Amino acid sequence: TQLLEQSPQFLSIQEGENLTVYCNSSSVFSSLQWYRQEPGEGPVLLVTVVTGGEVKKLKRLTFQFGDARKDSSLHITAAQPGDTGLYLCAGEWRGSNYKLTFGKGTLLTVNP
């Protein structure tokens, strides 16, 4: 069973601050996805990364995939209350047969 560690588990910050969430595995990902989930709803995809060293930007969100494809980070600049939610990373490894394994998530609260 592949394990995917996400940190921090909880994060409470003030509006306008920056933050970074991390996702790590001991194995090489074939692909990694970041999702955001709001209470009472299913997760919604933010980004997919597949190439080592890849950087993707989505407005104030920046996603990095480690060169060795074992880790990823999500950085939010100038956080807003609307960014509040559960951020999940999910990965596939070689041989995982299309099964996506999720981390435990980072519960972000942005206070006005």
Partner 1 sequence: DTGVSQNPRHKITKRGQNVTFRCDPISEHNRLYWYRQTLGQGPEFLTYFQNEAQLEKSRLLSDRFSAERPKGSFSTLEIQRTEQGDSAMYLCASRGGMNTGELFFGEGSRLTVL
Please report, as ranges, the residues that interact with partner 1 according to CB under 8 A. Answer: 6, 31, 33, 40-45, 48, 50, 86, 88, 90, 92, 97-105, 107
CB 93 within 8 A of CB 32: no
- Token pair listed for 18: 């920056």
Q: How far is the CB of 102 from partner 1 (least distance, A)?
A: 4
- Closer to partner 1 at the Cβ: 20 or 96? 96
Cβ 31 to partner 1 shortest distance, Å: 4
Q: Cβ 89 to partner 1, closest distance in Å?
A: 8
Helix (H) or strand (E) holding 69: none
Could you give the CA distance from residue 37 to residue 25 in angstroms, rounded to a whole number? 22
Choose between 34 and 76: whose C-beta lies nearer to partner 1.
Answer: 34
Return the SS3 of 82: helix
Look at residue 81 and give its three-state secondary structure: helix
The least distance separating partner 1 from the CB of residue 71, rounded to whole angstroms, comes to 17
